[in-house]
Structure 1
Amino acid sequence: MIITSSSGFFPGRSLRGLRRSGIRHASMQRSVRFLRNGGKPPAAAGRRILRARSSLITNPEDFEVGRFIGSYGFMNVTSFSSFNLRGLSSGGGLEELDVRYSPEDIERLKVQDVGEGQVKIRLYEGRIVQGPLRGTRIIFKVYPGLRAGGVEADMMAANELNCHAFLQGETGRICQNIQIFLGGFETKTGEQWLAFRNDGIYSAADYAKIMGEDVLKYRTEQRSWNPFDWEQKMTRRRKFVIKLLNGAMGGLAYMHSNERLHQSLGPASVVLNTIMEKDADYLVPRLRDLAFSVDIRYSSLDTSPGVLSEGLWRRASAAGAFTLLEKRAFGIADDIFEAGLLFLYLTFLPFCESGAMDGLSLQRLFEGTFQLDLEAAREYCLADDRLREAVKFLDLGNRAGWELLQSMLNPDYRQRPIAEAVLSHRFMTGAAL
């Protein structure tokens, strides 16, 4: 299954700032590194890891590793040979999950110049077996060691750990819309095992895929096509999606208020505690995948950029953002653009039958074919019966959804709203329903 990201389309990570430069940033790696004395993962044997946060669980013996859940890696998409996609033409990205491709995926890849990255991340279930959190279910996110994953894996693990430690420690409070980091350990082979509280294994990408299959099944089986039943289903779906988007934007607003960018926001980077639409009242979306987060405190902006943020600041310079104030504003607006792509994805894919549209095609349509002219894109989608429910959703409240989407995807970064403004928009408050 192929999932794309931000300036590639969507989840996980676009890798816009990641380059195979071979540069070693030792100070960054060592500042929050696990001690290199761990043992094999299932036994979780080794020594304590973090020197920084005593509240984190740092003893490998406190963990029990369970079943393997899956893995994902990253591929750099450097160009599209058959499409005019300014958003992907220089360093967009594609995330692959479980490395399985459909024939349609293969056809799409034929028109791209793709380079596979070294970083392959594995996921395991687990639990805490000692201490006050004994019995707590966790998800292990495993970064490969330096030999297998290169310097990028080291920097990504360190950056993710550092960001979570800051957001949970120095801020003095915990945001319910960001995944909770509990600790971890490092093995003798250098693998970084980061432990997060298990608040669900489904992502927003999984939800969209399942709902698309639901639409296809419903229409294929032609359940006497009860218009009332269908409208009830769509009403529940709209409420669920709006709550999902509110949670994701709430997490992003919290990060921005604490001087951190996400920089890899997409459907795969939003984890859900339920995908049952009847349980929407209990839905709590949480942001994850903070490996590419960027510190935008002025003291950090005034230093040389790290390898993981080089792409961001190149784009900032290209957009005319040179001063510290302008660079900070650009970074926030860049996250909002990614959030706009997430908004687009979640207002289309769960409402369209599976196969009618995918994330990459959606980005090609809006960014490539229509150059972010949403009125023209709307007319095109309205003519396709398979996309009509998505158009109806965005049309609610005198086209409130289109209005918000247009502002988030504004080509001028200075004109994009901040996260708090997105949350207060009438489409997001549910006033348009």
Structure 2
Amino acid sequence: MSHRTRVSGVKASLIMDPDDYEVGRFIGSYGYMNVTSYSPPKFGGLSSDGKLEDPDLEFSQDSIERLRLQDVGEGPVKIRLYDGRITRGPKKGTRIIFKVYPGQRIGGQEADLMAANELDAHAFLQDASEDICQNIQILLGGFETKTGEQWLAFRNDGNFSAADYGNITSEALSRNRSQGEAKFWNPFDVDITIKRRRIFVIKILRGAINGLSYMHDHDRLHQSIGPASIVLNTIVEKDVAYLVPRIRDLAFSVDIRYSSLESDPRPLSEALWRRALAAGAFSSFEKRAFGIADDIYEAGLLVAYLAFVPFCEAGTIDGPSLQRLFEGTFQLNLEAAREYCQADDRMSEAVKFLDLGGGAGWELLQAMLNPDYRLRPMAKSVLQHRFMTGTLL
């Protein structure tokens, strides 16, 4: 890495020599989508037994106005992906995915900051002895080209994301519906398919939240979690036993150690701490709590995405539309949102999924998307919620 992206956390075990790699085919490119939350006054919460304490939510005009604090949009930095492998050393033959950040000339200073931050976050999180961390993509090394591009090499744990899974399954559902009942010659096939999909989705969510919990336990926020930032090693629902979801895209990760919170904010985290101040989080303890709750809010939007998109035909709903529906139209009153969705036959399977266990899915969503950041559950509590344990399936 260059002096611009050199960080103190880089470990000796990371492979930083470009001669140790072989670059393969171009896979694709993408940009980062930043979705952040807001925090109006207190309403309701999640009790110790996983129940919603006050489901009768009301919202003032003041709280609705805080929606304008949200920062939603795709950033200017475009990331390219290539496959490849390690050509020498103890990890010779290991298949990898290269994530390429453009140099300053194309991506500006932000691209270098993002590359440095991602490298620093992975080096900080990965275990010193085994180079592993729970449900998080494994960084193996990286290098800088003469043009200033930053190439980060990750172990190839899959080429599909949760967003890909959602799109592919919804398109397949549309094709099956267009073929009518002849598609399912066995009357039980539909039920089996839906049950298998529910199990697959819960396992994706458990892996993603487990990775987020690991990050929080190790003093890091993700800050851009969403369906595109969850990599999957399979999207075949019959292979759910082999599914291992992993979090990727740590370019906006934030260090929440108290020593870091007491210093001047880094450029990539300034917006987060502005929102924290607007929500009344002034001390280091409050800022840390706000940051963790902000990640939980984004994870709640991920839960909503995976509860809806794979169970609806293509074009019915997408992530941004769900967010607008919940935040804008229904102002985070998910009981009202449920009534709206239930009236639309195209969303019936999604509603049934969240209705399991007397509305356990809606209950969890309402808690994770609580307008008051202080009342959102921790990641470990989310994992223990009855909707997430799989017992309802």
TM-score (norm 1): 0.80
- Taking the TM superposition and a 5 Å limit, the aligned residue runs for 1:159-174 are 159-169=117-127, 174=132
Unpaired runs of 5+ residues, structure 2, are 37-62
C-alpha displacement of 1:364: 1.2
1:325 aligns with 2:298: no
Match of 2:253 among 293, 301, 311: 293
Query: Partners of 2:362 and 2:129 in 1: how far apart?
Result: 35
Q: Does 1:72 align with 2:30?
A: yes
CA separation in 2, counterparts of 1:370 and 1:311? 26
Partner of 2:49 in structure 1?
Answer: none
Q: Distance in 2 between matches of 1:356 and 1:75?
A: 21
Candidates 198, 210, 218, aligned match of 1:250:
210
**Aligned residue-pair number:** 364
RMSD across aligned C-alpha pairs, in angstroms? 2.2
Q: Is the 8 A contact 2:142 2:150 kept in 1?
A: yes
The residue that corresponds to 1:274 in the other structure is 234
Structure 2 distance, partners of 1:321, 1:206, is: 36
Deviation at 1:169, TM superposition (A): 4.4
Assess if the C-alpha contact under 8 Å between 1:76 and 1:91 holds in 2. Answer: no
Aligned twin of 2:155: 197
Give the match's secondary structure for 2:259: helix
Deviation at 1:77, TM superposition (A): 9.8
Aligned to 1:89: 68
Structure 1 residues 188 and 175 mapped into 2: Cα distance closer, same or farther (>3 Å)?
same
> What letter is aligned with 1:93?
V
1-structure distance, mates of 2:32, 2:382: 30
For the structure 1 residues 244 and 90, does the alpha-carbon distance in structure 2 shift closer, same or farther, using more than 3 Å as the test?
A: same
The whole-number CA distance in structure 2 between the counterparts of 1:87 and 1:137 is 45
Shift of residue 302, structure 1, vs aligned partner: 0.1
Q: Which residue of 1 aligns with 2:219?
A: 259
In 1, Cα distance between equivalents of 2:189 and 2:119: 46
Deviation at 1:432, TM superposition (A): 1.4
Distance 2:65 2:268 in 1: 21
Could you tell me which residue of structure 2 aligns to residue 55 of structure 1? 13
Q: Are 2:333 and 1:360 aligned?
A: no
- The aligned counterpart of 2:265 is 305
Aligned-partner residue type, residue 178 of structure 2 = T
Aligned position for 1:18: none
- Distance in 2 of aligned mates of 1:195 and 1:251: 20
Q: CA deviation at 1:217?
A: 1.1
Alpha-carbon distance between aligned partners in 2 of 1:77 and 1:274, rounded to the nearest angstrom: 26
Tell me by how many angstroms 1:51 deviates: 8.9
CA distance in 1, matches of 2:263, 2:381: 30
Give the one of 143, 146, 167 matched to 1:185.
Answer: 143
Q: Is the 8 A contact 1:397 1:431 kept in 2?
A: no
Q: Which amino acid aligns with 2:17?
A: N
Partner in structure 2 of residue 114 of structure 1: none
Q: Which residue of 1 aligns with 2:197?
A: 237
Q: CA deviation at 1:176?
A: 3.6
Q: Which amino acid aligns with 1:67?
A: R
Matches within 5 A, 1:15-164: 30=3, 32-33=5-6, 52-74=10-32, 89-90=68-69, 92-95=71-74, 117-164=75-122
Secondary structure at the aligned position of 2:68 is classed as coil
SS at match of 2:27: strand
| Matches of 2:35 and 2:303, distance apart in 1 | 22
CA distance in 2, matches of 1:31, 1:213: 43
Mapped partners of 1:86, 1:201: distance in 2: 40
Q: Report the identity percentage.
A: 69
Deviation of 1:417 (Å): 0.4
Shift of 1:31: 7.3
| 1:422 corresponds to which of 368, 379, 382 | 382
CA distances 1:335-375 after superposition (whole Å, capped 9, x unpaired): 00000000000000000000111112111111110001111
In 2, distance between residues paired with 1:85 and 1:375? 17
Instruction: Classify the secondary structure of the residue corresponding to 2:327.
Output: helix
TM-superposed CA distance for 1:54, in Å, is: 1.1
Residue matched to 1:38: none
Q: Is the 8 A contact 1:87 1:367 kept in 2?
A: no
Over 3 Å counting, the alpha-carbon distance change for 1:176 and 1:215 in structure 2 is same
Give the 3 Å change call, closer, same or farther, for CA 338–258 of structure 1 in structure 2: same
Shift in Å, 1:136 = 0.7
1:385 to 2:364 alignment:
no
- For 2:231, what is the secondary structure of its paired residue? strand
- Name the CA distance, whole Å, in 2 between partners of 1:284 and 1:299: 34
Partner of 2:44: none
Shift of 1:269: 0.2
Unaligned runs of 5+ in 1: 1-28, 35-49, 79-83, 96-116
Paired with 1:128 and 1:249, the residues of 2 have a C-alpha distance of 30
Q: Which residue of 2 aligns with 1:398?
A: 358
CA contact (8 A) 2:202 2:390 kept: yes
For residue 299 of structure 2, the aligned residue among 336, 339, 346 is 339
Distance 1:91 1:408 in 2: 17
Q: Answer whether contact 1:128 1:137 (CA < 8 A) is retained.
A: yes
Distance 2:189 2:343 in 1: 24
How far the C-alpha of 1:146 sits from its partner, in A, is 1.3
**Matched residue type, 1:367:** E
